């Protein structure tokens, strides 16, 4: 198998870190000469106890309100340089600090070819999404997943099919054009349509999509943008919020927004971070949802690490005590924004696709929305669950079977097991059946599996290594020539559109190969006549002796030649009466063998006829 690869986009990360924070203007502004004079000052984020306390602080500091999140009692002020240091000491101001930068947790490094031996969207099969009942996928339409990100290309086929609700907290409009590209990819994984027959399949079934743009066109945003987006999503009906971004520090504004969502029964899911090879510094808000030191226990949301094709932690993925679980995040397949730079997001040809753009990407950014989508299915399976119940089910049903480790938390996401747990049922795994009929040394084999698009037939002879009889076929029958005296074990693997492969129960055939002994005897008859008898004696007692064809052969000094044949009777004896000319003869009897019997020859006897 060709090894899929990824690399970290250092320039993109450095650019995001170095970019100057720019806040979209919103809310109310104090129309005074003092506030206008403050236009060139620093931006400060303040928490206030009341509206009157904010008004007093603005007046006393000569600041201007440029943005407000009323539900959190958080405001962004443009302050004169000298006043920025005194805000903390003003009555009714709980804190004041500079905005905290947030960036997308992604390393696109889109692979140039599909995963060898699997489906393009291999992550769908790896998380066992294909085993979720159709009824649950449809019931998820009652759930809204909010994706807070760089926006979304709502014309992408899998997003357009969902007719998503959109809002930008940066420009206070429904225009969420995704020039950066990250949000479209994330949204397609969380809530891309599973029924439009195009592109990719999201993990959330028919769940509704709310795309909340929190970033500038270059992908940068702050904790205030994040907090405003969380409040908007909660206030507009989101049951699940995905946050595929993070940074090394938290802030009071972020913590207030997280608490606001939790208080409203919303499940928060966040990417754990991509610094596993560069310091492994905890990432926020993920470390707020599954607190540091918790070892996966409790928390108010889910921090998601990335796994690779083999089911291990992706090398770039963060690890540690705040990891809840993991999901596929290395070279996963998703939809691309038509407005994003194709040099940064290379397009992957997708056979059968007639519209949209697609590609591969790596990062915990892409693991998180898979879990968010699966959470919608769990909630759809049991609407009476609380957000913490859904989180607990996703953790306990993951591949770790209740055991936790610092690399993948409770293990790899298992969507089918999570849904089954929520319903109190078990996972119905598809099967492939294989049968056959034998005629002599040829066997006819037939197989089938619901939903399969390709099969592969293998055979093992006498317990040896499996050999491919038919590879990657849509056929469901074939015939195979056997050799007597050997045992055969046939298996069929069936693959569906999600890349799921199931293997049949072996179909075995054993051809017992009994050895045979022949004894040739002579006795004189009339003049120049010789009576010969050959006893057919198989070692296996259950083998019939009657009706076996035995042949007499004579040796001419160079080779043996057949000259007479007879069938055995009930006792296994064949007889011949021969009239021979004068001379010396060397004669033996032989048996050609059968499906269950080995060939045999008798000892040679010498005859002299006078």
Q: What are the CB-based long-range contacts (under 8 Å, 24+) for 478-482?
A: 478/444, 478/445, 479/442, 479/443, 479/444, 479/445, 480/442, 480/443, 480/445, 481/441, 481/442, 482/438, 482/441, 482/442, 482/443, 482/509, 482/511
Query: Which active-site residues does the annotation give?
Result: 149, 182, 365
Domain 103-423 in this protein, CATH class: alpha beta
* Average pLDDT per block of 10 residues along the chain, 610 residues long: 29 27 26 37 89 92 91 92 82 90 50 50 88 95 98 96 96 96 97 91 97 93 95 98 95 96 98 95 97 96 95 96 97 94 90 89 96 98 97 97 97 96 89 92 92 89 93 92 89 78 91 87 79 91 89 94 94 92 92 85 90
Q: In terms of CATH architecture, what is 433-510?
A: Sandwich (2.60)
Residue found under tokens 């790899």: 412
Domain ranges of the chain: 24-98, 103-423, 433-510, 516-609
Predicted local distance difference test score (pLDDT) of residue 564: 94
Full 3-state SS string of 181-235 = CHHHHHHHHHHCCCCCCCCCCCCCCCCEEEEEECCCCCCCEEHHHHHHHHHHHHH
Q: Is the dihedral of CA 104, 109, 115, 121 positive or negative?
A: positive
Predicted local distance difference test score (pLDDT) of residue 31: 31
Q: Which CATH number fits the domain 24-98, given the four candidates 3.40.630.30, 3.30.479.30, 3.30.70.80, 3.40.50.2300?
A: 3.30.70.80
Q: CA torsion angle for 164, 165, 168, 169 (degrees, to 10)?
A: -130
Neighbours of 550 (CB within 10 A): 26
Q: Which CATH number fits the domain 516-609, given the four candidates 3.40.50.720, 2.30.30.110, 2.40.128.640, 2.60.40.10?
A: 2.60.40.10
Predicted local distance difference test score (pLDDT) of residue 202: 95
Provide the β-strand partners of residue 567. Answer: 549
Predicted local distance difference test score (pLDDT) of residue 549: 95
The reply to whether 103-423 and 516-609 are identical in fold is no
Measured CA angle at 287 (ends 283, 288), to 5 deg: 130
Neighbours of 118 (CB within 10 A): 19
């Amino acid at each position: 198998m060709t090894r899929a690869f990824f690399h970290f986009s250092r320039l993109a990360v450095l650019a995001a870190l170095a970019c100057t924070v720019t806040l979209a203007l919103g809310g109310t502004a104090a129309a005074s000469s003092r506030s206008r004079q403050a236009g060139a000052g620093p931006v400060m984020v303040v928490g206030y106890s009341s509206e009157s306390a904010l008004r007093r602080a603005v007046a006393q500091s000569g600041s201007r309100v440029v943005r407000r999140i009323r539900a959190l009692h958080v405001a962004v002020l443009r302050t004169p340089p000298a006043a920025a240091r005194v805000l903390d000491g003003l009555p009714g101001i709980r804190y004041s600090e500079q905005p905290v930068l947030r960036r997308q947790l992604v390393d696109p490094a889109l692979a140039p070819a599909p995963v060898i031996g699997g489906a393009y969207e291999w992550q769908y099969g790896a998380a066992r999404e294909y085993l979720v009942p159709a009824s649950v996928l449809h019931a998820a339409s009652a759930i809204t997943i909010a994706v807070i990100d760089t926006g979304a290309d709502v014309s992408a086929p899998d997003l357009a099919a969902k007719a998503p609700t959109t809002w930008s907290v940066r420009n206070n409009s429904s225009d969420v054009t995704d020039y950066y590209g990250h949000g479209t990819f994330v949204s397609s994984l969380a809530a891309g349509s599973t029924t439009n027959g195009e592109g990719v399949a999201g993990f959330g079934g028919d769940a509704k999509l709310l795309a909340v743009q929190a970033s500038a066109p270059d992908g940068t945003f702050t904790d205030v943008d994040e907090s405003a987006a969380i409040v908007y999503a909660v206030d507009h009906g989101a049951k699940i919020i995905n946050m595929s971004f993070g940074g090394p520090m938290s802030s009071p504004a972020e913590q207030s927004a997280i608490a606001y969502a939790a208080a409203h029964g919303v499940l928060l899911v966040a990417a754990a971070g991509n610094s596993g090879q560069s310091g492994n510094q905890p990432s926020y808000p993920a470390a707020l949802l599954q607190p540091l030191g918790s070892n996966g226990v409790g928390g108010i949301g889910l921090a998601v690490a990335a796994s690779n094709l083999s089911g291990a932690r992706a090398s770039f993925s963060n690890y540690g005590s705040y990891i809840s679980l993991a999901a596929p995040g290395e070279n996963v397949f998703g939809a691309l924004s038509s407005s994003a730079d194709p040099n940064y997001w290379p397009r992957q040809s997708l056979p059968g696709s007639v519209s949209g753009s697609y590609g591969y990407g790596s990062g915990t950014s892409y693991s998180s929305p898979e879990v968010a989508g699966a959470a919608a299915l769990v909630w759809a399976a049991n609407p009476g669950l609380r957000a913490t119940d859904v989180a607990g089910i996703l953790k306990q049903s993951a591949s770790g079977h209740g055991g936790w480790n610092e690399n993948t938390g409770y293990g790899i996401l298992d969507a089918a097991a999570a849904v089954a747990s929520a319903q109190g049922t078990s996972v119905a795994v598809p099967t492939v059946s294989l049968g056959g009929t034998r005629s002599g040394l040829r066997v006819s084999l037939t197989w089938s599996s619901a939903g399969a698009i390709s099969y592969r037939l293998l055979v093992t002879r006498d317990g040896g290594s499996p050999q491919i009889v038919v590879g990657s076929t849509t056929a469901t029958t074939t015939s195979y020539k056997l050799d007597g005296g050997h045992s055969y074990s046939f298996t069929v693997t069936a693959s569906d559109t999600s890349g799921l492969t199931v293997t049949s129960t072996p179909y075995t055939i054993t051809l017992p190969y009994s050895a045979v002994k022949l004894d040739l005897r002579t006795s004189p008859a009339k003049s120049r006549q010789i009576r010969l008898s050959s006893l057919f004696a198989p070692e296996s007692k259950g083998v019939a002796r009657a009706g076996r064809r035995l042949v007499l052969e004579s040796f001419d000094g160079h080779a043996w030649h057949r000259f007479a044949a007879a069938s055995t009777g009930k006792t296994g004896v064949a007889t011949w009466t021969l009239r021979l000319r004068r001379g010396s003869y060397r004669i033996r009897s032989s048996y050609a063998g059968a499906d269950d019997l080995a060939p045999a020859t008798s000892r040679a006897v010498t005859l002299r006829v006078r």
